[in-house]
Structure 1
Amino acid sequence: MPQRIGMLGGTFDPVHLGHLRSAVELRECLSLDRVHMVPASMPPLRDKPTVPPEERLALLRLGIGRTPGLMADARELERHGPSYSADTLASLREEYGAQARLVMALGHDAFLRLAEWRTPDRLFELAHLVVIDRPDHEAPLPDTLAELIARREVDSCEALFQHPSGSLLRLALPTRMAISATEVRRRLAAGSSIRYLLPEAVEARIHERALYRQH
């Protein structure tokens, strides 16, 4: 059987339990062999993260710990320039081979801007896309996005994995934790509690290094 490999990118600024629980449930729901969690160094369509990429990677590694099937992947930090997902998928495709079932997961808010990404068609040439529905996010699709995904959408994992790439599946994860990194940063800047929003090891390093504090 071809390997099933997931990629979950993001700024992870900082990583929180919503990110990690989504990765675990994504792996379970799609029977993935592993999920690469890939921090972006320079996200093209988002504000610059508030702490350096190496620090966000360290927090991600602490958050993952020994969780089976999850790995912190530094490949976007090792490239120069903006962090384009197509380049990351091309690297994963080269690593796992032409027959691997490669999946890029993204949240619904990022999905709504997919047509604005660089070479969005190339994403489907390299991988399947899985859109993780958010509990608080419903909006009509822009025309350019509807055109991009036309005839690509499938309604089951079995249909998704018929081929190595090219399809789109919308997936409602069981837990759907509505934790926001923006809110975590706001609470840290205000000196408010972040207990139970992040893994304890991540919280400890953030406090130890005084990250996300107002200066």
Structure 2
Amino acid sequence: MAKRIGLLGGTFDPVHIGHMRSVLEVVDVLALDELRLMPCAQPLHRDKPQVSARQRFEMVHLAVEGIPLLVADARELTRDQPSYTIDILELIRTELAEDDQLFLLLGWDAFCVLPSWYRWQELLHYCHILVLQRQDVDNKLPDALCSLLATQSVNDPSAMTGPNGSIAFVWQTQLAVSATQIRQLLARGKSVRFLVPDAVLAYINAHGLYCALH
């Protein structure tokens, strides 16, 4: 039977409850066999993270520990140059069976700028795209994405068939939390309890992370 694998990349600087709630909802909606969280070593579309890739991976590993179907993927840590999403998808595809389904999770903001990504038109050759949608977004999509949605989108994410090629939106529980907010609170010496998993908070405190803005 074909497997259903999800993939969420990001800086995870740090991983927080918004990330965790999003992936759990996707696992539930699509009945995934596995969802991998993959910290980027050198992000292409964001500022340089405040802490190392190894530390961000260790926080993700702590966050998913003991949670069924969630996995921390460390493959980015071995790369010495920025990674393009298409490169990662090509690599993962070589590890899967031909009929396995691969789902790339993208936040709404990332999806809106997708045409600026390297070889973005080829992404659907390797995966389905799941856009994590919130009730409060009203960005206008670029024409290139409107055209893509007109031909490749499906209304029901659970009805996506085949190993790749479709786009669907997954409505998310709205949580007003961001990594930027968490870093700012920590830099001011404020508590971030319940904004990050307890194990992640313990790691941040033990290593003195985010204790001052840079």
TM-score, normalising length: structure 2: 0.95
Aligned residues of 1:7 and 1:36 also touching (Cα < 8 A): yes
| Structure 1 residue 134, shift from structure 2 partner | 2.3
Which amino acid in 1 is paired with 2:180?
T
- Are 2:185 and 1:205 aligned? no
Deviation digits for residues 67-121 of structure 1 (CA, Å, limit 9, x no counterpart)? 0000000112222311211111112111112210110011101110101000011
Q: CA RMSD in A?
A: 1.3
| Structure 1 residue 144, shift from structure 2 partner | 2.7
- Between the two proteins, the alignment pairs up a number of residues equal to 213
Distance 2:5 2:21 in 1: 17
Match of 2:185 among 184, 187, 203: 187
Distance 2:78 2:165 in 1: 27
- Are 2:155 and 1:155 aligned? yes
Q: Where does 1:26-175 land on structure 2 (aligned, <5 Å)?
A: 26-160=26-160, 162-173=161-172, 175=173
- Which residue number corresponds to residue 174 of structure 2? 176
Distance 2:67 2:10 in 1: 19
Aligned residues of 2:9 and 2:37 also touching (Cα < 8 A): yes
Deviation digits for residues 39-70 of structure 1 (CA, Å, limit 9, x no counterpart)? 01111111111100000000111111110000
Which amino acid in 2 is paired with 1:45?
H
Q: Which runs of 5+ in 1 are unaligned?
A: none
Aligned residues of 1:93 and 1:126 also touching (Cα < 8 A): yes
Deviation digits for residues 146-196 of structure 1 (CA, Å, limit 9, x no counterpart)? 234440111113431x211011001103x3323101100010111111011
Distance 1:17 1:44 in 2: 24
Among all aligned residue pairs of Structure 1 and Structure 2, give the percentage whose two residues are the same amino acid: 42
